Amino acid sequence: MKIYSADTWTLEELQEQVSDAGRRTVMVPPAASKQAVLEVFGQVLDFPEYYGVDLDALNDSLHDFADSVSDDDQPPVTLIWQVPAAYRTDMSFGVVCEILQDAESYSGRDLAVIAVFQQ
* Euclidean distance between CA atoms 85 and 108, whole angstroms: 29
Instruction: State phi, psi for 74 to the nearest 5 degrees.
Output: -115, 170
**What average pLDDT does this structure show over 95-118?**
97
The per-residue pLDDT of the chain, averaged, comes to 96
pLDDT at 30 over 90: yes
* Euclidean distance between CA atoms 41 and 61, whole angstroms: 10
**What average pLDDT does this structure show over 80-105?**
97
Instruction: State phi, psi for 83 to the nearest 5 degrees.
Output: -115, 110
* Euclidean distance between CA atoms 91 and 106, whole angstroms: 24
For the stretch 11-23, pLDDT in tens is 999 999 999 999 9
The pLDDT value given to residue 119 = 86
This prediction's pTM: 0.95
* Euclidean distance between CA atoms 21 and 100, whole angstroms: 20
pLDDT at 97 over 90: yes
Least Cα distance to 76 among 41, 98, 103, 108 occurs for 108
